[in-house]
Structure 1
Amino acid sequence: MKTLARLQTGRISSWVVLAVAALVLGALFAMLPKGSGDSVPPSAAPDDADSSQVEELLQKFPDADQSLALVIIANSDEQEFSADQMKYVEGVTARLAEEAIAPQAVRPQLNKEKSAALIAVPVEGASQTESDAIVDQAQALRDLADEGKPSGVDAYLSGPVGFQADTVNAFAGADVRLLVVTASVVALLLILTYRSPVLWLVPLLVVATGDGLARFVVSAIAEEFDIPVDASIMGILSVLVFGAGTNYALLLIARYREGLLTHDDKREAMRQAVTGAGPAILASGSTVILSLLMLLFASLSGNRALGLACAIGSGIALAMSLLVLPAAVVVCGRGLFWPFIPRPDADRVAKPSIWGRVGQRVRKRPAVVAAATVAVLGVLTLGLLGAGIGLSQTDQLIGDPESVQGERVAADAFGSDYGTSLTVLAPADQADAAVSAAEDVEGVEKATVTGSAEGWSRLMVDLEAEAQSDAAFQAIRDLRETFADDADLKETLVGGQDALALDEADADADDRFLIIPLIVLVVFFVLVVLLRSLLAPVLLILTVLATFFASLGAGNFLFQNVLGFPAFDTRVVLYSFLFLVALGVDYNIFLTTRAREERDRHGTRDGMQEALSVTGGVITSAGIVLAAVFVVLGVLPVVALAQIGTIVCIGVLLDTLIVRTLLVPALAFLLGERFWWPAKRVSEERRTASSVAAS
């Protein structure tokens, strides 16, 4: 680290570093392909799941490219259709039939009250990557449904075509909005933090360049290896790069400013900043990267894609912060801090910071403070009572798109007659047996053979339960168990949208049970290496875990009781844990590495108090920046991302303002030198030598 610091701060070498960085970055920006990042998040269960195998086998059927549009027409007053309204329904049916693959199959289905009509329209399917085609197809169908529509009647486009189109429209330009809002939030908070009209530009430019490079690198790798990187992953990537990169910049510049108050030479001040803050930044970034790489062990391709993309982004943010930012800041000189330019002043009397005073109060009653903090976290954790995991398709988008409205209207109008359908593939010579076995399963209304190809028969199995409900999922499990128990039907596969949702939820649960312990082990290993202690890492991980459960509980209370979300999305628990533990431990790393450094001069208790005093301001600023940046995920129209952003925001604020400020110092004050067990106590001679060296 010392060699790197000398290279970055030399009178000539600092400019060389910037020139080389500019050339390398320019070449990469010119050579790498420019990915759009606008693709819609795909639905993909593990390859060995029934639903995935069904999707693959269906490609062999003649109508493999077929999709389905559902047009729902309903009387606004929920009364029986009038003669004019029925004429309109018949006209819509005729127009839609002309656009269908099988015109003879397009027939209106009326509910019992004859106040609503459901028209199923088989159409040519469009790939999820063909965004414009999806939107154009849906708009054409909507125009046909709206043509000649009389007053008192509402028409909705739903089904796979409607949901796909609304999802594409929701994501259109979302990554650009997210980038603009994220950069604006970071710029505003940097201005407020530095109180300078100039200084904020340098870290923002460096971090923004890192974000742009990360997006290009990830897009290139995704294109080369066919990795499913979509708009939501690119959004999380930008938030992570801006959040982590800004945190590293704040820590480095704070240490640099600290050095400028004691050194006439700005280059010496930066050398001390890099050698002092560099190991903590490197450890923090390594923790994030290694934690993200644990997602490569996940069974869901989306989880693996997120882990790879964000690990690359975190690595680039770390590199930009440690390699480029020091040289960029040092060549600008002290004037970068204008109007509050730090200069050495022998007569300056150091005033205790607000965080130093907080440390003094915590030190007086550490047991009371620790107990009170744990109690607060425990109360927040109680918010998890009644929490659920798993959202239906209609609950996954923010807002109320037409496809969701139509689904809701159809469910209300048709009641139990509006269930869900599964696609079952059975060996062709066992089709009749499969139909009979399926109809004997509780929750199955009927089963019908709808085609055959390549030795497989396709069955359409109608369920009595609503789509993606617990009853529907139980019926799918019962179907699979029934087929598995029959020697002749054990190769039968149950697929379809509800089966896909169930397989994704089960795979996500498996990923949580595997990945979460791996992340804990990674964080523990990094902390042991960094702090050269066993007890301190255990305590720090326990505090971060307590923060995670408290923020999850607070988030659940907010979502269910205030915002009306029925449950967490399946991805929320794993992603929130990942970001809260990997990023939340950063602040403990920043604090405890400084405390260990001060321990050599002052001992554990005085060292922790000094560390809290000098790092409190910058860590608080970094936490507020990171919390605000993750909230920006709500710009993307996905409930899962809004939930993740909110939970991470709550957790970061808890970690920054309560855990790092109160609980961790209280534990250090209580334990004294035992906090660093099994490290040896610092002798008086070593303290004296360290104090002399520091002075």
Structure 2
Amino acid sequence: MSKDVPGRVPARWLRIVVPTALILIWLALAGIGGPTFGKLSAVSSNDQASFLPASAESTEVQAWQKRFTDSGSIPAIVVVEAAETIPKSELATTYAHLGTKLGQVEGVQTPAEGETTSVAGPIPSKDGHAVQYIVPVSDANGVKTVVADLRAVAAQTVPEGTQVWVTGPAGLTADLVNAFGGIDGILLLVAVAAVFVILLLVYRALLLPFLVLFTSIFALCAAILIVYLFALWGWITLSGQSQGILSILVIGAATDYSLLLVARYREALEQEPSRWVAILRAWKAAFEPIVASGTTVILALLCLLFSDLNSNRSLGPIAAIGIVFSLFSALTFLPALLAIFGRASFWPFRPVLGGRPQKHDEGVTLAGLEGVHGLWRRVGGLIARRPRVTWIVSFVLLAACALGLTQLKANGVQQTDVILSPSDAVDGQAVVAKHFDAGSGSPVLIVAPQSDGDAVLAATEKTDGIASAAFYTGGGRPQPGTAAQPVAKDGHVLIQATLVAEPDSAAAEAVVKELRGSLATDGSVLVGGVTAIALDTNETAQSDLAKIIPIVLAVILIILMLLLRSILAPVLLIGSVVLSYAAALGVSALVFNHAFGFPGADAAVPLFGFVFLVALGVDYNIFLMTRVREESLLLGTRPGILRGLGLTGSVITSAGVVLAATFAALAVIPILFLVQIAFIVAFGVLLDTVLVRSLLVPAASYDIGRAIWWPSKLWRDRSNVERAEVSS
């Protein structure tokens, strides 16, 4: 195999200039990109409404709402609960004073002309044990700060013996932003620490783990810089979840590519006295599988551009940028470091010329397993002796796991269930639901032609699940029965309807569906609001899943066909990773429902899980099958399969463990979506690495034999006669 790689040591000036230039370039990228870590939150948005396409009905209603109110305010609900009945006399004194103080908080909408405050309230509950205020927060970019100030003012002003919470859309958004607060620091620290420990165990070297980690971190710094600039210029929509996934994906992918290059470098050092010749040889051997793997992931991620959800569509290029820099770093920065440090990189277990002394093979040796020892020799022997039984048993185990898919509940969850850490807003929402109509502060918004306004209002009031409804008359919260005239814009009126159920519940979504079905038969009436946004988001995510899965599979299949020069092998690989994905999702559904007790899953979870698991699962099969093809050209197909498995087994398994550990780090961010993605991808990668790539694919390929390369030259070349499968 070394015959294809030049054995001549490069000129001295090349050995000095090239590594130095590469390292300086990456140091510059890291120096510029590193400081942008803390700036990403300034260009990210967690507003669910911004993720919807312009054609969504709730998006159209948002555009109409801006014409009516000229305000982009987000309502915060301040609720005060007392153990005893609140005296009515205190409403006009103590509680009115609280409303005034809340209205004076910076970032709260300024009152309209002729009004003293923009805050609606105090509004007493029917049972007399609670009072609520609706506070319009006009500083949409500073919701976190405004809500914190509201909480501080409320805590200082409420009477003794009462408790106060700040909830509603603004309160929930603020707590969501707080939950994402660990992405810049905690998430990266946990991921890097996990990878470092694994690398120490894998290499048993002191320097090499640092070289690999530097490769990953520098790739992330460069990717963060580009993503920050794209978000700043408005080219992409960056969210907290995209930010977290980018960090994890780059660390995991760059480490995986580094592991493959390092494995080839160790092999080359055992056969070449010069570290410069060894790194060139390793680079050439690793280039094709690394580039093929990275290209596959990049194209699979870019398939998200076909999504109708802006959050999904933006994640595609964001994650693809991360993979691009992972590739560049693993193929430029790491080789430069390895060339400079040479065998010292592996200290104290340096590779020696000629390799480590091999144990004598006793008894029968399977062709292709010469020199392979330990676990991978036993696995290869099992596959050679019982290939059909091995792949059938593996297939049945995966199929059994996939049965859990029937219990997957990926229809969206209430916003109060999204935050897994203690949340003042979540607790406050429960108090609001206890004492008031749960939909207070988050009304259903209905835009209707002015000529049909009275009829639409009457129909809305009669709809089950609607507590009250009124025209928007300007000047704050509409009052049912008011004599004020409805505000009309471009021949339309705005109706605000209060829901009985919590606005992000399934019951509330059912009411919105009912309103859309009964009011908007000719398309002239539009139904929007917070509940409609959640409904449209879930429905769009589900349609994205059905649309993007076939596109991703087609793209990956074409890449594999070009890489392996075969049709049958790529079909086998695609089928195996799809089965692995179904199995991972099935087990995850059982764990989510019965172990973690999650109320459900975001509608985008299956799509994200599919893109990551299928693309990354194919990664390991590419690493395996490119080496198998290389060995098959020399040994024949069946010995080549065993040889390829034996030589790549440990490095691919290590890569799988690293990637699983990095994705598992997402679970430190207390957001339901990220915790679920963390489990699905981490478990799925381990399942794919241990079962699919180690047993199912090689056993099925071994059983099929040379036909696995159909219709390539390797299949047609009869002169490439396989060795006897067993020799003494």
Q: TM-score, normalised by structure 1?
A: 0.91
Distance 1:196 1:641, change over 3 A: same
Alignment of 1:42 onto 2:47: yes
Moved more, 378-387 or 658-667: 378-387
1:377 correspondence with 2:378: no
Question: Which amino acid in structure 2 is aligned with residue 471 of structure 1?
Answer: A
CA RMSD in angstroms comes to: 2.8
Contact 2:80 2:131 in 1 (8 A): yes
| CA drift at 1:143 | 2.7
Deviation at 1:13, TM superposition (A): 2.3
Which AA in structure 2 matches 1:287? Answer: T
In the alignment, is residue 121 of structure 1 matched against residue 134 of structure 2? yes
Kept after mapping to 2: 8 A contact 1:191/1:197: yes
CA distance in 2, matches of 1:485, 1:683: 66
- Is 1:476 aligned to residue 476 of structure 2? no
Q: Residue 51 of structure 1 contacts residue 494 of structure 1 at CA under 8 Å; is this kept in 2?
A: yes
Encode CA deviations 1:404-459: one digit per residue, 9 max, x unaligned.
01112322344778696201122334322321232344433432101325323221
Taking structure 1 as reference, are residues 10 and 356 closer, same or farther at Cα in structure 2, changes over 3 Å only? farther
| Distance apart, 1:378 and its partner CA | 2.0
1:644 aligns with 2:715: no
Q: Distance in 1 between matches of 2:340 and 2:177?
A: 46
* Correspondence for 2:698 among 652, 665, 679: 665
In structure 2, how many angstroms separate the alpha carbons of the residues matched to 1:475 and 1:154?
32
Q: 2:572 aligns with which of 539, 552, 560?
A: 539
Mapped partners of 1:212, 1:86: distance in 2: 60
Give, in whole Å, the separation in 2 of the partners of 1:4 and 1:220. 40
- Tell me which amino acid in the other structure corresponds to 1:669: Y
Query: Greater CA deviation, 330-339 or 270-279?
Result: 270-279
When residues 175 and 687 of structure 1 are mapped into structure 2, their CA distance, relative to the original with a 3 A threshold, is farther
Which amino acid in 2 is paired with 1:68?
P
Q: Deviations over 1:89-121 (max 9, x none)?
A: 962443124433464863344445433x14132
AA of the residue aligned to 1:193: V
- Letter of the 2:643 partner, please give it: E
Per the alignment, residue 681 of structure 1 pairs with: 715
- What CA distance in whole angstroms lies between the structure 2 residues aligned with 1:391 and 1:243? 29
Find the aligned partners of 1:657 and 1:315 in 2 and give their Cα distance.
Answer: 27
* Mean CA deviation greater in 534-543 or 408-417: 408-417
Partner of residue 367, structure 1: 388
Distance in 2, Cα, partners of 1:317 & 1:347: 32
Residues 356 and 610 in structure 1, CA contact (< 8 A), matched pair in contact too: no
Partner of 2:76: 69
Shift of 1:180: 1.9
Question: What's the CA shift for 1:4?
Answer: 11
Cα contact 1:8–1:17 (8 A) shared by 2: no
Whether 1:443 and 2:465 are equivalent positions in the alignment is yes
Contact 2:520 2:526 in 1 (8 A): no
Counterpart pick for 1:179 among 166, 183, 188? 188
User: Residue in 1 aligned with 2:121?
Assistant: 107
* Worse-superposed segment, 209-218 or 155-164: 155-164
Tell me the secondary structure at the aligned position of residue 147 of structure 1. helix
Q: Deviations over 1:314-366 (max 9, x none)?
A: 01111111122222212211111111111123783235231121111122122
Deviates more, 1:322-331 or 1:428-437: 428-437
For the residue of structure 2 that corresponds to 1:485, the secondary structure is coil
Deviation of 1:480 (Å): 2.0
Does residue 465 of structure 1 match 2:470? no
Structure 2 match to 1:352: 373
2:416 maps to what in 1? 394
Superposed counterparts of 1:181-220, under 5 Å: 181-220=190-229
Contact 2:404 2:589 in 1 (8 A): yes
Q: Give the drift of 1:65.
A: 3.8
> Aligned letter for 1:406?
G
SS at match of 1:218: helix
| Whole-angstrom CA distance in 1 between matches of 2:570 and 2:436 | 58
Q: Point out the more displaced range, 654-663 or 155-164.
A: 155-164
Cα distance change of structure 1 residues 183 and 2 upon mapping to structure 2, 3 Å threshold: farther
8 Å CA contact 1:534, 1:676 repeated in 2: yes
Q: Is 1:320 aligned to 2:329, yes or no?
A: yes
Per the alignment, in what secondary structure is the counterpart of residue 41 of structure 1?
coil
Q: Distance in 2 between matches of 1:357 and 1:592?
A: 19
What amino acid maps onto 2:18 in structure 1?
Answer: V
Task: Quote the Cα distance in structure 1 between the aligned partners of 2:214 and 2:617.
Answer: 25
Instruction: Go from structure 1 to structure 2 and tell me whether the alpha carbon gap of 1:413 and 1:337 turns closer, same or farther (over 3 Å shift).
Output: same
CA drift at 1:272: 2.4
Q: What aligned pairs does 1:223-238 form with structure 2 within 5 A after superposition?
A: 223-238=232-247
- Report the 3-state secondary structure (helix = DSSP H, G, I; strand = E; otherwise coil) of the residue aligned with 2:527: strand
Relative to structure 1, the CA distance from residue 601 to residue 628 in structure 2 (aligned partners, 3 Å threshold; closer, same or farther) is same
Q: After TM superposition, give the deviation of residue 485 of structure 1 in Å.
A: 1.9
Task: Give the secondary-structure state (helix, strand or coil) at the position aligned to 1:565.
Answer: coil
Task: Establish whether residue 523 from structure 1 lines up as the match of residue 556 from structure 2.
Answer: yes
Pairing of 1:607-646 with structure 2 (within 5 A): 607-646=640-679
Unaligned runs of 5+ in 2: 104-110, 359-370, 474-486, 724-728
Supply the AA of the counterpart residue of 2:405.
L
Aligned to 2:85: 81
Distance 1:310 1:126, change over 3 A: same
Deviations 1:148-172 (A, max 9, x none): 6566533211112211221222223
| In 2: Cα distance, 1:89 partner to 1:404 partner | 28
Provide the rounded CA distance (Å) in 1 between the counterparts of 2:607 and 2:504: 21
**SS in structure 2 of the partner of residue 157 of structure 1:** strand
Q: Structure 1 residues 3, 171: closer, same or farther in 2, change over 3 A? A: farther
On the 8 A contact 1:438/1:444 being kept in 2, the answer is yes
Gapped runs of 5+ residues in structure 1?
Answer: 690-695
For 1:448, give the aligned amino acid.
A
Report what 2:489 is aligned to. Answer: 454
Q: Calculate percent identity across the aligned residue pairs.
A: 36
Cα distance in 2, alignment partners of residues 110 and 583 from structure 1: 55
- Is the 8 Å Cα contact of residues 9 and 327 (structure 1) preserved in structure 2? no
Which residue of the partner structure matches residue 17 of structure 1? 18
Rounded Cα–Cα distance in structure 1 between residues aligned with 2:313 and 2:92: 47
Does the 8 A contact of 2:68 with 2:494 survive in 1?
no
Partner residue, 1:498: 531
For 1:155, what is the secondary structure of its paired residue? strand
1:582 is the counterpart of 2:585 = no
Residue identity in the other structure for 1:340? F
Distance 2:157 2:683 in 1: 50
- 1:408 pairs with one of 421, 426, 430: 430
Q: Measure, in 2, the Cα distance between the counterparts of 1:310 and 1:588.
A: 21
| Kept after mapping to 2: 8 A contact 1:17/1:324 | no
Q: In the aligned structure 1, how far is the partner of 2:248 from the partner of 2:230?
A: 20
Per mean C-alpha deviation after superposition, the further-off stretch among 359-368 and 210-219 is: 359-368
Q: Tell me, yes or no, if the aligned pair for 1:70 and 1:118 is still in contact at 8 Å.
A: no
Q: Which amino acid is the alignment partner of residue 114 of structure 1?
A: G
1:476 aligns to what SS in structure 2? helix
Question: Which string of whole-angstrom CA distances, capped at 9 and with x for unpartnered residues, describes residues 543-572 of structure 1?
Answer: 101111111111111112121211111221
Q: Which amino acid aligns with 2:646?
A: S
> 1:94 corresponds to which letter in structure 2?
H
Of 521, 545, 551, the match for 1:485: 521
Contact kept, 8 Å, 1:97 with 1:121, in 2: the verdict is no
**2:558 partner letter:** F
Query: How far apart, CA to CA, are the structure 1 residues paired with 2:326 and 2:151?
Result: 45
User: Could you tell which deviates more after superposition, 383-392 or 591-600?
Assistant: 383-392
CA distance in 1, matches of 2:327, 2:6: 15
Per mean C-alpha deviation after superposition, the further-off stretch among 100-109 and 402-411 is 100-109
